[in-house]
Structure 1
Amino acid sequence: MFTKEALQVIEQSISEQGILASSEKKDNYARVWSRDAMMTGITGILIKNPMIIDGLEKSVKTLADHQAENGQIPSNVYGNKVSYGTLVGRTDATIWWIIGACEYIKYTQDQEVKQSLKPKIDKAFSCLKTWEFNQRGLLYSPLGGNWADEYVTSGYVLYDNVLRYWALKNAAEVYRDDERNAQAEQLKHLIEINFRKNNSADARYHGAAYKKADEKPYLWASLNANGYDERFDLAGNALAVFLGFDLNMEDFTQFLKMLNTEFGHWMLPVFYPVIFPDDADWNLLENNYSYEFKNRPYHFHNGGSWPIYLGWLCLGLRKRGYDQIPEKILSQYEQLLQEKSPSFREYYSTDQLLPSGTDRLCFSASGYLLMKA
């Protein structure tokens, strides 16, 4: 219904340097962001759109040209201005770049790009290895260290570690690397035994915290030295479902239906439950922002609904044979686009379903295309 409009949003955001987060000149969105450009580019591959795939190639090369000495890939690039993160660095920027570069190579079979990027991909993996800090296998992210840069998760974050698994699997396939493939499978095992209750006899990262954690129908959001954050992280779980992680899908889909009942719609929150001013974690939210405070209850990362991650959720559920919920999510989003005009805003508030954040966002246009893919 809105495929043409979604494609226009993306195509108008493609510059000589690559895919901008948005064509809107607001805050810092008119830049080549690693995570935004890679997700949009991968969407272009899924729908076989040559213009978006060309934008992906430009994005991969632009970001690679500004790789830091330690192997870190920039969070974003604009002209000659390069950012690796403002308040803290962004762990997921480096991982998404590896994933996107490998997806591009797999799709195009471009041998020249494959060989020229190999040293940079190796260097990026070396950087990620140092971010374990304890050499035990899971990646450690600081507070605000990934896409949810104004939220409260930190430590061994589900989302970042699931992404690292995907990066390892992709690079192992592209470069026929058995060692990386083994690392990927070991990381997947670590995630599966540490982020949900299970009967594995293997030692846990934090045995005392693991015993105290409550069983949930999803993978926990993060693990830190002070215990587990048992919140629902939609992005991390959506990617885990898409990538085939071991999860009780019946329980998981029942949980999604419970969220639908609680909120009264299918624009599900990206983190749940919502944090309110009287809650203990509010102090982690109220000062963590660069431009303005956005994390009011039901907004932005604090319970807002992001079409990009609903898109990944739909793709993952369909891949696992669950078509009913994706149809309902797509129908809900199309209804909102029809009512509010298809401007592809950044997110929706989950209390009133108000379109909020930056307009004409490639993230949201890509989310719609992923829902339909």
Structure 2
Amino acid sequence: MMTDINYLKAIELLHKSTSSAGFLASAQDISNYKRVWARDGVICGLAALASGDEDLIETFRDTLETLANNQHHNGTIPSNVGISDNEENVSYGGLAGRVDAVTWFIIGVCQYAYYTNDVNFVKKYNSNILKALQLLEAWEFNNKGLLYVPLSGNWADEYITDGYVLYDQLLRVWALKSYNHFVKDEFITTKIQTITEQIEINFMPQSVGEKYHERAYEEVKIENYMPCSFSPAGYKIQFDAFANSLALLLNIGSPAFQQKIIDYSISLKNELPLGLLPAFWPPVYENDNDWHLLKNNCKYEFRNFPNEFHNGGSWSMVNGFFGLALLKAEQNEEAIVLLDAINKANAVEEYSFYENFNSETKSPNGVPYCTWSAAATVMLHQSIYEEFKYLV
């Protein structure tokens, strides 16, 4: 097939966003985005692997090296690293530390090594990975299998999720599975099983097993998807598109429940004008109990108006992972439809690759020329048309 213009534009943006230290979060000259970010950089790196572009793959390697070289002595991976001498060089998080930087780093190293067939790359960073894994063990706090994540502790850094956040548990499973592909360690194999069981017991309906918070579990009605998080204060029941996509990719949950997630997700995106899944749904409104968790949870300016940013906004990046989940479920036609919707969003204002969109008005939000918006197109395009597959 002829190479699609949307794909070429996405590749072009990734090239424009490279630096000697790795991928930048945006090609736009905005200080906080002109940095190498852990999660953004690894997601761009996953796109680089899918593209087969040697220069982009080299930038992925640079990204991982930058993150490893700036690992904190306690094991924390930087949220982001500045590339300018005029600003603070390393950040491990803003209002709270970023738990997902640790897991994305491990995933990145292992996916790079898998694709390039470079086992020595894992060996090179083995001590970094082991230190990171030990830190994740400590972040369980109660040693029962699930990470405890602070408010503002991951990519949804201005949203309401905290405590046992589904997304972070799933990223940890992916990180452990990726690493265990190389080391085949019995302890890690058991750990993967333990975490998976705890996810299924605490986030799935009518599950069998001792719950973390039995009373709170009995009070919520889990039906069509896994809720986004729970804590000692109870469950947050919003649909987390990223997390549920990861659950599908990792084949967690019964086939019947996985199909419920897919059916709910397709129905939801088809109801909305962009044809994209919102990051979290439904939105939190000013008269909702959780509004107080949103209104002050911002370092610079409030952005989480209903239907925008994390609060019901639609992100190309998130939809890229849902597209991969659809392919895993052999829903190829649906994945093609979704890729078209992603490409239409990325093409707004002459391919401005906006960070996210208002899910009702379709208005673009956030930073333009956002690299992980481009990564969504590349990952899904190559997975559909070149049958590229990640290590999961």
> Which residue pairs with 2:388 in the alignment?
none
1:217 and 1:252 in contact (8 A); partners too: yes
Distance in 2 separating the partners of 1:263 and 1:164 = 31
3-state DSSP class of the match of 1:279?
coil
Give 2:23's aligned amino acid. I
> Which residue pairs with 2:309 in the alignment?
300
3-state DSSP class of the match of 1:351?
coil
Give 1:123's aligned amino acid. K
Give 2:156's aligned amino acid. A
Which piece of structure 1 moves more, 78-87 or 327-336?
327-336
Which piece of structure 1 moves more, 293-302 or 172-181?
172-181
What are structure 2's unaligned runs of at least 5 residues? 384-392
> Which residue pairs with 1:164 in the alignment?
172
> Which residue pairs with 1:291 in the alignment?
300
> Which residue pairs with 1:365 in the alignment?
374
> Which residue pairs with 2:217 in the alignment?
210
User: TM-score, normalised on structure 1?
Assistant: 0.96
The aligned runs of 1:1-373 (5 Å cut-off) are 1=4, 2-79=6-83, 81-200=89-208, 202-247=209-254, 248-338=257-347, 340-372=349-381, 373=383
Following TM superposition, by how much is the alpha carbon of 1:325 offset from its aligned partner in structure 2, in angstroms?
2.7
Following TM superposition, by how much is the alpha carbon of 1:55 offset from its aligned partner in structure 2, in angstroms?
1.0
> Which residue pairs with 2:387 in the alignment?
none
Distance in 1 separating the partners of 2:273 and 2:15 = 34
Following TM superposition, by how much is the alpha carbon of 1:290 offset from its aligned partner in structure 2, in angstroms?
1.7
Give 1:302's aligned amino acid. N
CA RMSD between the two structures: 1.5
2:26 and 2:370 in contact (8 A); partners too: yes
Which piece of structure 1 moves more, 73-82 or 107-116?
107-116
2:227 and 2:237 in contact (8 A); partners too: yes
Distance in 2 separating the partners of 1:16 and 1:263 = 40
2:270 and 2:276 in contact (8 A); partners too: no
Following TM superposition, by how much is the alpha carbon of 1:354 offset from its aligned partner in structure 2, in angstroms?
1.3
User: TM-score, normalised on structure 2?
Assistant: 0.91
Distance in 2 separating the partners of 1:22 and 1:194 = 37
1:105 and 1:174 in contact (8 A); partners too: no
What are structure 1's unaligned runs of at least 5 residues? none
Distance in 2 separating the partners of 1:295 and 1:221 = 17
Give 1:346's aligned amino acid. E
Following TM superposition, by how much is the alpha carbon of 1:336 offset from its aligned partner in structure 2, in angstroms?
3.7
Distance in 2 separating the partners of 1:26 and 1:339 = 20
3-state DSSP class of the match of 1:341?
helix
2:347 and 2:353 in contact (8 A); partners too: no
3-state DSSP class of the match of 1:73?
coil
Distance 1:323 1:109, change over 3 A: closer
Distance in 2 separating the partners of 1:266 and 1:371 = 16
Matched-pair identity in % = 37
Superposed CA offset, 1:8-33 (max 9, x none):
11111111111111121214011110
